[in-house]
Structure 1
Amino acid sequence: MRGAAMSLTAAASGLVVFLLSVSVVQGQGGWGVTYSSTKICAVKGSTVEIRCSYTFPSPWRGSVITVEKTFWFTKWKGGVRVDLTTDPEYAGRVEDLCENNICTLRIKNLTESDSAEYWFRFETNQGGKYSGSPGVTLSVSNLQVTSGTNRLFCQNSCPQSSNPSYIWYKNGQSIQGETSDYTSNPNNADSYSCALKGYEDFPSPPVYGPKLPSVSVSPSAEIEEGSSVTLTCSTDANPAANYTWYKKNGNQKLPPLTTEPKLFFSPIQSSDSGQYFCAAENELGKRTSEMISVDVKYAPKPPSVSVSPSAEIEEGSSVTLTCSSDANPAANYTWYKKNQNEHLSSVNEAPRLVLSSIQSSDSGQYYCTAENKLGVKTSKNISIDVKYAPKLPSVSVRPSAEIEEGSSVTLTCSSDANPAANYTWYKEDEDSPKASGQIFNITDFRAEHSGSYSCEAQNKLGRSNSNLHLSLVKGGSWKLPAAVTISVVLLAVISLSVFPWIRRKRASRDSSESEERADNREECVPDQPEQQEDLQYATVHFSNNRADPLDSNLRAALPFRHTEQQEVSEYAAVKFSSAAPRTRGQDSEEDPAALYSTVNKSR
């Protein structure tokens, strides 16, 4: 239509399109583009059609004009207008239809990003180019459901020239109500949406409360103390949910740890181990996740040690040492005694070391080790001090030589005891103690000091005693050791027994000699006086009281007891005959070498 402006119309197909202004005619000198409206509002997901008409003079400057190209654009690229049919953002959604100087732009499946200003342009064979400016502003609105107190609202951002009717949907099923609000008591299991009546194919996005949240931990491998760990909470909800993290703590009210979907630990500590959960909430409801366990692995902490019973430890009682350490995984325990590199025993590779019927030798310093695959720690030392009654005392005397009258004598008593023993000295047949203390001194030793002495060691747990015997040796006298005395006596007895046998042997040999030899012998023997019999007596003395000088006159005596020592003087009668001449064949009435002895040993 040369010289006349054609009208442009804009309409929406598939959904109500709100025209915000009347048609606009643009042009000069026969050139022009006519839009029916400069502003259009359409609903997301719908299809919109924007129409225009264009005019141009023909002939122009003596030439016939024909239109060679028409297109729609919204932007420039490198100073060149981009045809919408070639724009990747509109690929498959845009159609440009022109016939009889009327062009239509159809956009399907509108998105919010399609909101823009659209221009139409045509170009002729004579180099004429014309764009209708300003263009048409398209606004894409998204129907939304919002919530209030027990009420839902269907909101449309496009200005409304009338009061449209709405349709409400619950869990995809239509429910009554034609207004933009709906009274309800929503719960987490329900979803709600709305649509403009007549355009049910383009409902609003559904709204619903949070689904059951899922929780995850990263890294998913074993968690070691000192590493970084992230807990994540996620759920499906519209509108989007708000998140809160909690740590389980019995029945106490839990303070929130964070109001973010992620809970960070950097670095994580052993104290962070525990049960965690999250809550997801929006206007339509609230859901709580299942528990997730965070198990932080860590090396043993310094072990603590204890002893039971905690009271004073007495020998013979049962004592238990306990080692404990906070560790994950659980620690293995080993007990040691200080200054020993080996284990005490195989049963001690456990938290408890049991010393049943504890002995004094068990006193000392003990410690334990706690170990797992992440490390090892050693406890402080614990002291075991076993209390016990005095052991059998040992006694000694100084000087160690024989005790002579007037000398000074020192007696010493010692006993192993815990607590230390007190010492008391007693003398046989005397009720009162002679002295107290480990050392007992006797100055100017006299005969009355001889006798048996007792040392008693005592503490609060018991007592024990040992005895000794002191005897006086008079000045200038001496005693052979018992072993030497006995040896001499035995030698004498043996000699006295063998001597008669030798004499008889010789006598028997002499009787077999010839007379000539006998006569010659008689001639050779001078005259002797008349035979005399000499009788000799010897006294042999035995005593059980002989003491070895090495024993320093010290004799252990168990309970005091008087031993009556009976010294018996034994007499050995020894008869010697002189060697008088004998005639051949003369019988001797008795053997001249006969020896008689009787030895009685005192009991």
Structure 2
Amino acid sequence: MRYLTALPLFWIMIAASRGGQWGAWMPSSISAFERTCVSIPCRFDFPDELRPAVVHGVWYFNSPYPKNYPPVVFKSRTHVVHESFQGRSRLLGDLGLRNCTLQLTHLSPELGGKYYFRADLGGYNQYTFSEHSTLDIINTPSIVVPPEVVAGTEVEISCMVPDNCPELHPTLSWLGHDGLGAPAVLGRMREDGGTWLQASLLHFVPTREANGHRLGCQVTFPNTTFQFEGYASLDIKYPPLIVEMNTSVEAIEGSQVSLLCGADSNPTSLLTWMRDGAVLREAVARSLALELEDLTPEEDGIYACLAENAYGQDNRTVGLSVMYAPWKPSVNGTVVAVEGEAVSILCSTQSNPDPILTIFKEKQILATVIYESQLLLELPAVTAEDDGEYWCVAENQYGQRASAFNISVEFAPVILLDSHCAAVRDMVQCVCAVKSNPEPAVAFELPSRNVTVNETEREFVYSERTGLVFTSILTLRGQVQAPPRVVCSARNLYGTKTLELPFQGANRLMWAKIGPVGAVVAFAILIAIVCYITQTRRKKNMTESPSFASGENPPVLFSSDFRIPGVPEKSESKEVSTLGSY
């Protein structure tokens, strides 16, 4: 053990104060461990003109005035003391040399208090000094920790114990310091008041893991069983570290989700939930939950948790994926294209996860893509067969949505092979079926009479449209003995098509049986019909004919379901002649 031997300031002050005045010097406070001893250093002075033969002194406990009958700790004249101090007190100093040092042994808590010295020079030369020393009886060592201990910054912690018993000197050791550092014992040191202490220092760099660590100091006295221990919990300040956080979260639209963030820090952090720079919730807490109810796709994204205190900050993010069914697909809408042109249709939607996109036409799959939000349908050269309604369908495991769109293909007229003439009882009906877009102007020509009848002649022509097929029916009334020549022509802005309509049906065989006479009669009837049509047209120039809507339907109508045995369905007829387009 190393002892410091510097000249104490206390004795310097005594030597410099010798000037013949009443005065005393002693430490204002002194401490010692229970059951050990203590030496209270004391010096006093009196006027020089007083030359006492013998100097006596008295130590009182807790009061300086004899008239209050305070307990006598020590009395040099009679050695009569209070029972509490019997066998416990003795004077170490020489009163003749003005040294009044007092020693107390076998200390117990009731001996703690104030001690006063009274000088007795004989006769009336007695003086009780107001200066006194307060004795503190302790049973734990003092561990001194700096007011702020920061993780990562070296710190010094000391264990201080009094060493004021000449007969017993303490030995210090650290408890629970494993992993913190090696202790250094400084040894015995004198304080300014003339008292002594033993000190041991512990240097280490604290970590966040050491926060709350219980560090102890143990005091023992050689050749005794005396042992005293004191403890201190380390309050280590450190910046936040986020230790609890959701991993990526998946939730279904309309459900509820809780995002949790927890941080380890000292002092407690300010926790803040943020998204796109906006503060959603914050609080000073060790953990903070962000509750999201009735989720929508707009809440899908990255959420950040920020933890901060006076010593630093930390942040982490979590991704929230909101799962939902596809939105109604968005398409170009109705597309109008000319036959032969290229057409592109873009179908797009939004969903999570990405959907399967499919484009149908009449239950036939034209294009599909898996786990994409867009689908492009490309038709390099559209034809009439591409005209119609299409559907774009988007689906994933959470639902299905669809949108319809139309492609309208414009093309020149095509006269279908369904077109023909047929005798029915006392009339002839000629059917001209034309596939066209836009709607064509249809006319019937009778070349032998140089007569043309169009759909505006509603007394003779009935027209209807089904999809892209425009059907006109010419009805010729009267007894027909020979099949007439009828040519159908169809025209729109993309071109013109003509076809001589074939005469079909069972009555066709009768012409062979009638012979030349019958042919003459039939020809006469045909002339009469033509004349009737001519006269009717002249009347129309003077008087407007009845509207198609208000007029009666002809006796026989053509149905779009009409089929001719042996003729391919909806096939095109052989072109007879072609006119230039408009």
Larger CA Rg, structure 1 vs 2: 1
RCO greater where, 1 or 2, for CA within 8 Å and sep 6 or more? 2
Fold agreement, TM-score > 0.5: no
TM (norm. structure 2) is 0.41
